[in-house]
Amino acid sequence: MAREKTALITGVTGQDGSYLSELLLSKGYRVFGVQRRASLPNTARVDHLYENTENSRFSMLYGDLSDSSNLSRILATVRPDEIYNLGAQSHVGVSFDTPEYTANVNALGPLRLLEIIRHLDFPVRYYQASSSEMFGKVLETPQKETTPFNPQSPYAASKVFAFNVTKLYRTGYDLFASNGILFNHESPRRGLNFVTRKITLGLARVKLGLQPSLHLGNLDAKRDWGASQDYVEAIWRILQHNQPDDFVIATGENHTVRAFAEEAARHLGMDIEWKGSGVNETGVDRKSGKTVIEVDARYFRPNEVDTLLGDSSKARKLLGWKPKITFKKLAELMVAEDLTYAEREAELHSRIVYQPKAAGYGQNIPQRKTRRNKN
């Protein structure tokens, strides 16, 4: 009987970490996830894996990519066959506010892991979550493995460092270390402050009267958006390939933020008409006449990546991978989940409109009716 493989996933509590855990468990792996300590629960995306008793093959360990000694201890204890390094400060906009922290986790984190792996007495296959953001202000279209990088943010610069050390440890120390250069991928589990999820949840909340409008930044940025569920399959295939290598993973189609918003709105029964320009541009629902989207300069970035479009023919040929979920289907799936989410919130709102009188304050405190996502 084949030996059960053991995988270690950093970033297990994130979007990709949760889907990858499900995929590996379905393939019979023993999965260990690295969870960082938080003051409130951060395991919502993987709680169902704990709750399912059949998944006694899923465990979590506390750790952090900024802490070498703890990574070293985890690797020595788990002795994984495969390491998927998905952990990162993954928000491009936030990286302008936290550049040093972003570099510490995203650039030095992978270096720490690779240095530990280099001294292990057992073989390990290492996956680095590299990003299309590294192409930045693109020097070639579509972008493929040979396209030069031109990073435009501390996030992208940190990922270029991680990409390079992964390659360097592969060539210099003969490690099985591969990069997946993944273009944007989304899902109902996407973080709330990435643009697609901000749109699907924001418009669902607008529809139900939970917030007056949705504030967005650059509507004209174009992204090659795929689905996380499809992309974790590519991540796994990259580590099963007969040799370590670097692969672009993309759909080969791109769309503007504006087009994603129109598509999401359509699934909510809205029909967006754009009015005005620049920071004065708004999206008005033709059916209700309400302004549902407003441009807000707070969401502009110091440097913008205007357009990304990937050519994943190498992965399609060598790994036999191709995406299944289309742009339209992705928007539909995300809207459906977020409408349910917003409906639950509306139901809660209808029950608790005012908080009880607090002794000493002498007045009812209205429940906050709006919520602004930062970034």
Which 3 state secondary structure label does DSSP give 178? strand
Q: What does 33 bind: ligand NAP, ligand G4F, none (CB cut-off 5 to 8 Å by kind)?
A: none
Cβ 177 to ligand G4F shortest distance, Å: 19
Q: Tell me which DSSP letter residue 56 carries.
A: T
Binding mask 299-338 for ligand NAP (x = CB under 6 A): ----------------------------------------
216's enclosing H/E stretch is strand 214-216
**From candidates 5, 36, 215, 314, binder to ligand NAP by CB under 6 A:** 36
Cis status of the peptide bond prior to 212, with omega within 30 of 0: no
**From candidates 4, 27, 28, 42, binder to ligand NAP by CB under 6 A:** 42
Cβ 27 to ligand G4F shortest distance, Å: 25
Q: Establish how many alpha carbons lie within 13 A of residue 349's alpha carbon, considering only the half-sphere containing its beta carbon.
A: 17
Chain positions 125 to 164 lying near ligand NAP, rule: CB under 6 A, are 129, 131
**From candidates 65, 206, 292, 308, binder to ligand NAP by CB under 6 A:** 65
Q: Is 87 in the site for ligand NAP (CB under 6 A)?
A: yes
The dihedrals phi and psi of 327, each to the nearest 5 degrees, come to -55, -50
What span, in angstroms and rounded, lies between the C-alpha atoms of 43 and 232? 19
How many other CB atoms sit within 10 Å of the CB of residue 112?
21
User: Of the two residues 10 and 152, which places its CB atom closer to ligand NAP in the complex?
Assistant: 10
**From candidates 13, 95, 143, 211, binder to ligand NAP by CB under 6 A:** 13
Can you count the helices (H) and strands (E) in the chain? 12, 15
- Whether 12 and 47 have beta carbons less than 8 Å apart is answered as no
Kindly list the residues in this chain that would bind ligand G4F in the complex (CB under 6 A). 90, 92-93, 131-133, 183-184, 193-195, 198, 216-218, 221, 223, 257, 299, 301, 304-305, 308, 375
Q: In terms of DSSP bridges, do strands 6-10 and 30-35 run parallel, antiparallel, or are they unpaired?
A: parallel
User: Of the two residues 49 and 162, which places its CB atom closer to ligand G4F in the complex?
Assistant: 162
Q: Which residue bears the tokens 């009880």?
A: 356
What span, in angstroms and rounded, lies between the C-alpha atoms of 196 and 261? 8
Q: Binding residues for ligand NAP, per CB under 6 A?
A: 10-11, 13-17, 34, 36, 38, 42, 64-66, 86-90, 105, 129, 131, 182, 184-185, 191
